[in-house]
Amino acid sequence: MRQFKNNQKRNRNRGLQDRSFKRVNEISRLNSDFGNRENGFRRKQNRNNGNVEKLIIKYNELAREALSNGDKILSENYYQYADHFLRISLEQKERTKEKTQNISG
């Protein structure tokens, strides 16, 4: 009787499935249009950022709470997130201004 019979059954086809899965991902990655994106961003351009103002408020409140608990590092982290979303909000507002100026002008 074999001692490691179960281990052999389990590992028999495991390597082939893992490799084929990885190969499929590599092929799809090569064929994707990551290189063709504007400014090299990989994110979707139609991502919904409708809640940017809520996220700014959320991270500012979390930063104040962390600061009141004495955690300066976590507070700074939350402030950075808030700053990031503030920049996104300003970008969105600039885009809407440009769109309205192009339509009217």
**What average pLDDT score do residues 24-52 get?**
56
Helices and strands (DSSP H and E) totals, the chain? 4, 0
pTM, entire model? 0.51
**What average pLDDT score do residues 66-86 get?**
97
Domain range spanning residue 100?
Answer: 5-39+48-104
Our count of domains for the chain comes to 1
39 or 90: which leads in pLDDT: 90
DSSP helix/strand/coil, 92: helix
Residue 49 gets which letter from DSSP?
-
**What average pLDDT score do residues 79-83 get?**
97
Percent of residues, the chain, with pLDDT higher than 90? 45
